[in-house]
Amino acid sequence: MDIENDTLRLTTAQAIVRFLANQFIEIDGQEVRLCGGGFGIFGHGNVTCLGEALYDHRDALPLYRGQNEQGMGLAAAGYAKQYLRQRFMFCTASAGPGTSNLLTAAALAHANRLPVLMLCGDGYTTRLPDPVLQQLEHFGDPTLGVNDAFKAVTRYWDRITHPAQVIQSLPNAIATMLDPADCGPAFIGLPQDVQGWTYDYPSVFFQKRLHRIRRAVPDAGEVADAVALLKTAKRPMLIAGGGVQYSRAASELADFAKAHQIPVVETIAGRANLLAGDPLNIGPIGVTGSNSANAIAAQADVILAVGTRLQDFTTGSWTAFARDARFIALNTARHDAGKHLSVPVVGDANRGLAAIAAGLSGYSAPKNWTALAQGERKKWDAYVAGNVAPGNGPNTYAQAIGVVNDLCDARDRIVTASGGLPAEVSANWRTLGVGTVDVEFGYSCMGYEIAGGWGARIAQVEREPDNDTIVFVGDGAYLMMNSDIYSSVLSQKKLIVLVLDNGGFAVINKLQNNTGNVSFNNLIADSPTIPEPFAVDFEAHAKSMGANSETVANPGELGQAFKRAKAGKKTTVIVMKVDAFDGWTTEGHAWWEVGTPHVSEDEKVRAAHDEIEAARSGQRRGV
């Protein structure tokens, strides 16, 4: 057969789906489809052509029916995280509001550098029926539409205006999503007429292809510079970010730290790089961190940052470190490796750690420094033990976290995202299994919790079906996006959802109060346009979506309910009220820069502003 001249006449939509179905990747010695399927809500912009093509491949590329396009995108992000960016899901939405609903999810995937493919309806290339339903008309630019908004929140963007363009566009989109340095969401706009147009595609385009994720070996000169600086360190520290997990380098990180006795602190994204019992795990760092990690960060002279973009919650808005501390940044992305005049080591975390270790042979951190760090960790462990223990006071986030921590399995996955829970989980969770914690704080997206948990559960069932996905969510985020409880029940992808109800947006109320302001429009009880506040019956609401649900009064009852949820086969929602004012972890916080009024008639606001500004003296100025 003359492969080059052998062709298949397909529609644009059919070609896209057939191509995706023939892309594979090897994970743990097993070949699996690179695309795990998709999430879809059909409308006039994608049902007739793309829907037809997806139906013919429904076994190879299972399509999950979402309830909201934003939730679909968040679920796809949760799936990609669970698979450590080695697989992705697509999302398909109709033209107009169906597509624009995906913008927030695209921004989350972009901020967290996650592969998500969006196949979205668009207007007509011919423009003969214009203006069409849901089209936004720009008088001076007829090519401009809603889909152009995705250029700001995607790593790859294209609009297919001829069927042949698929031959170039799809491989480029996949290459972007699999690139460790440039990973992020890809958007492909599909005009409604072009979806159904045909083209004689070369058959070779649809042959099975096995992909590999590139492992960039760092430059020898950069490694030598890093080694030379580390050898001068009297108080070295290692920051472990989410990139450690994406490069599957957690064991290499642990071995590196052990070989050189360097204390390790974790970012929010890297929260489960080391087990809680690892003697060199000094705790989470930063604004949502621990006294132990922040104490040694303030004294460290050389800091090796691995796989982290050094977000402000990690750096305490760049006040967490000594002003003269030197940074080495090992990262696949050049943009991250050069931050704050770091000595850059651009490369894969796995290969980079091995290269630095080879040059660092014989070096070990001073024993008194490592012992100091470990002593700080012991003090923090004692604080956490008391913080999570149920007492005579009000119910708290920390108590709920402690109950689940004691009863869950080592490989259960923990998911949370917004409000006060990222700080509480980061500070109080004791890691039982590497890579089991997903605290989405790259975009701090309310609504990710349940939707992302659903996506994570789809992936978890494929890999670790005997374990559970456990979602911590506040009442505010629950009310913002909860319909994927229904999705999880329909698809029989069990979740355990803990709704911790503090009567509104309590963590922002806390920030409001901490900056001298009175409670206003955050707690339900303090909203001036609510004449008669009342509580939502979350238990009844969850039951209406088909989930098992119960309300508990205290952590003891929560533990019993959690055991029942673990034993069950169906999504379970457990509701417990927690205190909005005194129920917070009070230790472990670094300074965080927030904008405050420079002038105010309120004395408390002025005093808070002065106090916040006084702490700015320790802030690094970009060097």
Domains belonging to the chain, first-starting first, are: 9-211 (3.40.50.970), 220-379 (3.40.50.1220), 391-577 (3.40.50.970), 593-623 (no CATH)
Q: CB-based burial of residue 586 (10 Å sphere; 0-12 exposed, 13-18 middle, 19+ buried)?
A: exposed
Average pLDDT, the chain: 96
**For 122-164, how does the pLDDT look when each residue is reduced to its tens digit (9 = 90+)?**
999 999 999 999 888 999 999 999 999 999 999 999 999 999 9
Buried b or exposed e, range 613-622, using 16+ CB within 10 angstroms:
eeeeebbbee
Q: Looking at residue 200, what is its pLDDT? A: 98
Which H or E element spans position 238?
strand 236-240
CB 477 within 8 A of CB 418: yes
Q: Which residue has the higher pLDDT, 621 or 301?
A: 301
Cis peptide before 555 (omega within 30 of 0): no
Q: Using the predicted structure, report yes or no on whether residue 478 has a pLDDT greater than 90.
A: yes
> Which region holds residue 546: left if phi is over 0, alpha if psi is between -120 and 50, else beta?
left
Tell me what pLDDT residue 615 has: 85
Give the tens place of pLDDT for each residue, 302-339. Answer: 999 999 999 999 999 999 999 999 999 999 999 999 99
| pLDDT on residue 623 | 57
Q: What is the pLDDT of residue 392?
A: 73
| Res 4: pLDDT | 59
Average pLDDT over residues 366-383: 98
> In this model, does residue 391 exceed pLDDT 90?
no
What value does the mean pLDDT take over residues 531-546? 96
Question: By the 8 A CB rule, do 282 and 374 touch?
Answer: yes
Q: Alpha-carbon distance 618 to 623, whole Å?
A: 12
Of the pLDDT bands very low, low, confident and very high (cuts 50, 70, 90), residue 243 is very high
pLDDT score recorded for residue 24? 98
The neighbour count for residue 557, using CB atoms within 10 Å, is 15
More confident residue, 618 or 80: 80
Q: What is the mean pLDDT of residues 229-246?
A: 98
Global confidence as pTM: 0.97
Q: For the chain, give the percent of residues with pLDDT over 90.
A: 95
Q: Strand, helix or coil at 358?
A: helix
- 1 pLDDT higher than 90: no
- What is each CA distance from 51 to 11, 37, 57, 92, in whole angstroms? 12, 13, 10, 9
